[in-house]
Structure 1
Amino acid sequence: MAHVDWMIKGPELATCNCDWGCPCQFDARPTRGNCRAVVALRVDEGHFGDVRLNGVKAAAILAWPGAIHEGHGEALAIIDERADKHQREALLKILAGQETEQFATIFNVVAAMTETFHEPLFAPIEFEVDQEKRSGRVSVAGIIDVKSEPIRNPVTGEEHRAKVVLPHGFEYIEAEFASSTAKTTGTIENEWTGRHAHFCMLHMGPNGIIH
């Protein structure tokens, strides 16, 4: 089946309610039995057909009652309000896993495991990341407040660096793991401190990760 030619490349900050390291990254069950996540990205280079996506930002709040692969999830997508009509439509299709080979991207996997898609929002998104320093911030006024920092040794307080490689991943090949504090309000509410985060550079298209 032919898909629309699309590509996105840019940084992502993903956070969830699992302990540092997130066992879901290694096909184990989530730390607390359920999965709740806040994810944000910026497209530095990208297109969807003839629509340029450079500079567009997006975020999502996600929740599942159990492990992601057991389904029954809910999702709220947020697109930066500076995106025009065509960019909004294009990015929402990518985030919904459309125009993509089955299970080839994290977006397609998440969409397949989600049964409730809330009406998307369009609002200013503040997105700052430094993958090398494992430091980041995501803010959508009144909806999302996320901060990430390096994991620290509980005895010495020294920064603890963990870089993970997943050669056959559908979200990233390499990521820096970190610690997150998050609070979301409204449609899907979350709140945690000192939980999992990871930074990665997304580079994908309709057939999955671009190597």
Structure 2
Amino acid sequence: MTDQWKLEGQYMEACTCEVACPCIMLSDPTEGTCTAVVAWHIEEGAYNGVKFDDLNVVMALHTPGNMADGDWKAALYLDRRADAGQQDALGTIFGGEAGGHPAHLAELISDVRGVEVVPLAFETDGKHGRLRIGEVGQIGCADVAPIEGQNGEAPTVQDHPLAVAPGHPATVAKASRAHFEAHGIEFDVSDRNALLSPFSYAGP
């Protein structure tokens, strides 16, 4: 039987699509393919007694076509501040072995390029976000701010069919820059799609 677990916190993604990313509505990517970094800041969570408060996790991914068709390449990055037990538990959850929504995402991945433990910096106020992967962001980075909607408010999207953080409205944003280069997954763009939202996952 799968152990019960729960995580909650803040989520951010940046990708190569134009704003707003058509992939979340099950349409084809803007450029025909989609390359992205997706990041989670865990505010509170535990798995089998192992706590994850204030730790970060990042996944870099590339999909060769419509994201719903799967065949993703992916690399997983775990926070260097995590101890060995936390790293193992986070790898189990985000590798899809513990059930819950991460398991549904893992079903779309056909090629895991690597799992690494590196410094991860993730800052957000819910509308703006800053991500750095590796020492001073040498592996990847993203700087994100919301686009302006009606009455100057940041627009949101909710209940989209392809959601990394289901059940929560996501702020539609742009990345002034998003960059990643490792494991054969590469992109470097500006003024492209980004999303920010709370997230909450739980195991069976």
TM-score under structure 1 normalisation? 0.86
Native 8 Å contact 1:150 1:159 kept in 2: no
Native 8 Å contact 1:68 1:110 kept in 2: no
Native 8 Å contact 2:37 2:58 kept in 1: yes
In structure 2, the partner of 1:19 is 18
In structure 2, the partner of 1:80 is 79
In structure 2, the partner of 1:121 is 116
In structure 1, the partner of 2:44 is 45
Query: Which range moved further: 16-25 or 166-175?
Result: 166-175
Measured in 2, the distance between the counterparts of 1:19 and 1:160 equals 20
Give, in angstroms, the shift of residue 96 of structure 1.
Answer: 1.3
Give, in angstroms, the shift of residue 189 of structure 1.
Answer: 1.1
2:142 is the alignment partner of 1:146: yes
- Identity rate of aligned residues, in percent? 26
In structure 2, the partner of 1:112 is 107
TM-score under structure 2 normalisation? 0.88
2:171 is the alignment partner of 1:172: no
Measured in 1, the distance between the counterparts of 2:146 and 2:160 equals 23
1:59-98 residue pairs with structure 2 within 5 A? Answer: 59-98=58-97
Give, in angstroms, the shift of residue 152 of structure 1.
Answer: 4.7
Question: Counterpart of 1:11 in structure 2: which amino acid?
Answer: Q
Measured in 1, the distance between the counterparts of 2:106 and 2:147 equals 30
Number of residue equivalences: 196
Native 8 Å contact 1:172 1:201 kept in 2: no
Post-superposition Cα deviations, 1:66-88, rounded to whole Å, max 9, x if no partner, equal 11222221111111111011111
- Any gaps of 5 or more consecutive residues in structure 2? none
Instruction: Classify 1:39/1:170 alpha carbon distance in 2 versus 1 (closer, same or farther; 3 Å).
Output: closer
Give, in angstroms, the shift of residue 200 of structure 1.
Answer: 0.9
RMSD: 1.9
- Any gaps of 5 or more consecutive residues in structure 1? none
